[in-house]
Every structure is written in C-alpha cells, then in structure tokens.
Amino acid sequence: MEALQLFNKNETYNGFYVMLMVNRLQMLYFFLIMPRFLIHSYMIWVIIAVGILSQLNILLLSKWFLTRFSSEGYNGFVQLFGKKLVRLLSFIGLFFILLKLFVILLGFSEMVQIFMFPATDSNWLIFFILLSCLYVAWKGVEKTIRFVVISFLCTFWMFLFFAFFFFPPIAQLSDLYPIIPMELNVDSWKGIFLILSSFSGPEFLVFLGPWFKTNNKTFRYLSYGNALTVIEYVFLYMASLFYFGSNYLSKSQFPIVTMARYFQNPVIERIDMVMLSLELFNIVFAVSIFLLLFYGASKIASGKMERPPSRVGFLFSVFIILIGMILVNEWIWKSDEKQVILLNLQILAGSLSYLVVPITMIVVMKIKGVNKHETTKEDG
C-alpha cells in the first residue's frame, strides 16, 4: 500500500505560525472551566506570575529551536539521547499525549452535549469530532500547522465579547477583593497547578522543529504567543468574577460558556452555541497535532521509525484512541468523582511536562557540549 505522506517536509514556517501555535495550544479546554476552580480573586496575580514562569520555559524552548538538532527531528534526538532512551521517552510520552487528548476531547464533547445537543449520546459527538480531526491530520504535519491560522482567526477575538462584564451595573470593584491572599489553602494550591497546566502545550512543539524556521526571532514570537495567553486568561477570569462573584463562581460547571448565554442579540439568539461551534476549530487543530504526535511516538516506541508511515498504521492508532476514549467516557468521565480524578491527573501531568521537557532539553545539550557553533541561525 502506498505510504502516507504525514511527515514530509517541503517547507518551513516562520515565527508567526509559532506564535499562533503557542497561543492556541494554551487556550484549550481548561480556560473554559478555570474560573470555577480558582474562585479567589487574588488568583489574578497567580495567573500573571505563572505567565512569567511560562516565559522562562519559552526562553528555554527558543534555545532548543536554534540548534541543528531541532531541525533534524528524530535523528537530532537520537544524537542527543541515544536510540534506546529515545524509544523509552517516546513510550512515556504516549501516556502524556493520550491523557491530554482524553481530557480535551471528552471535556469539550460534554459541553457540546449540555449546551447544544442534550439528546445526543456523547460517544457519537466524540466520534464525529475525532473524525474531523482525522481528516485534518490525514493531510500531514505541514497542512495541520497551516490550519492554526483558521483556528486563531475563528477563536481569538471571542474573549472581547466579555468586555461587556467590565461595565456597571454588572461590574463592582469589590468583586476583585481581596487582591492579596491572607493564606494559601488546599484549593489555592490546586488552582496554581491548574494554571500551570493550562499554560502547557508549547513543550510539544519541540517535536515539530523540522517544520519551523530557526532564527534569532524565534524567542520573540514564542513570547508574543505566551503574552496573548496571559491577556486572555486574566481578561476572562476578571469578567467571570464580575459576573458571578467569588461566592458563586464555583457553582457553575462551565462559567465561561454560561456567561456567554447571558448575551442578548437581536440577530444571534444563542451566542454560547456560536462560541462553542467556533471553538471546535481550535479543538480540531490541537487534537490533529496530538494525533500526529501520537502516531509518530508510537512508531519510535515500537522501533519502526525506519518504515514509512502507512494508512493502516495511522488509522489503527486513531481507532485505538477512539476505543480508549469511549471506554474512559463511559467508565470515568460520566462519573463526577472519577472525572475529578482524571482532571487532577492531567493537571499534574501537564504541569510536569511543561516544566520538565524544556529543562531536560537544555540540560542534555549542556552535557553534550552543544555550543553556538552547533546552532542554525537563518534569517527569516
């Protein structure tokens, strides 16, 4: 059977695409439920502080993108870690990718069912959304990266809708008090890890290095994407505080979407349905990237990297993900208690991956003695 052209590289993308990918990978499922878990108004400062910490990770990632190892992809990792360790790390990475896929897709499908199609079985929603993601991923890495432009244009501007909540009589300055925490309880620490996990996503870009141009502007564009995320998170969280207040914020399962239902428009009656429909573009983009990463990691872990990608192999990997997602949906996600466990697991996994991956790459490069003479600095 003819090989599937998933990982072909015919062109590379400039920093503009990197900026969009950083921002959209950080603005996934968690931003829709984040206010429910943060509650306390002083968490605004935590969002900003974690955004600055994320900026340090962005700096480390930019150093990786400047190396020749980044542009060599799999062979670059083998040169740094060795083939056996790369296979082991790929096997571990499958768990992180699957966990992120499950939480993103199951969480979004649940929202679509509640707000748009209450009579539809969530398993069918999962199937159709995953089918859309398969279609995009089937086009290969290059076209999937291009799809981020559509995702960004469809979703970025939506947070501006919530500027309405910053004006009286809804907005009261007292809703932002206290701005300084007197103590940090268990809920506060959970909120900190949730925010850190919400900023995760850019670490997966280290595996897409061959498709990005490497130049001294990389850090700038990575920073722009991270800064946009900070602005969106702070803006949406402040809007939710003005609308619900700290006392009632935790009562709403999906505060951001619930707020969108408040909007009255003579042309469009249900703004929340429009927002979820447009957010689907971002979900499709992110899940498509993770499908490609999952298939690539599975090939490395199974020692079949020398073989070209096959249609059967890719379809089989997506089929395994679909079956696993349906089982998790039935056995775990539909139970509120078990769902919290899965969410907490992803919060810890996302925080861990975002902290460990950039640091590991830099430490290994230092150990291997990578210096400026082994970096690629093209103009672009």
Each of the 380 residues of the chain gets a pLDDT tens digit; together they read 456 778 888 888 888 999 999 999 999 888 888 777 887 888 899 899 999 999 999 999 988 888 888 888 888 898 888 899 999 999 999 999 999 999 999 999 999 999 899 989 999 999 999 999 999 999 989 999 999 999 999 998 888 888 888 887 777 777 777 777 666 666 778 888 889 999 999 999 999 989 998 777 888 999 999 999 999 999 999 988 888 887 788 788 888 888 888 877 766 777 888 889 999 999 999 999 999 999 999 999 988 888 888 888 899 999 999 999 999 999 999 888 888 899 999 999 999 999 999 999 888 888 877 654 455 544 44
pTM: 0.92
Alpha helices in the chain (DSSP H): 15-26, 30-38, 43-65, 68-72, 74-81, 83-115, 122-138, 141-155, 186-198, 218-244, 246-249, 255-260, 271-301, 311-328, 336-368
Q: Which residue shows structure tokens 């909540």? A: 165
Separation between Cα atoms, residue 43 and residue 18, nearest integer Å: 28
Separation between Cα atoms, residue 167 and residue 154, nearest integer Å: 25
φ/ψ (deg, to 5) at 142: -60, -50
Question: Taking the CB of residue 352, how many other CB atoms lie within 10 A of it?
Answer: 15
Q: Identify whether the C-beta of residue 130 lies closer than 8 Å to the C-beta of residue 326.
A: no
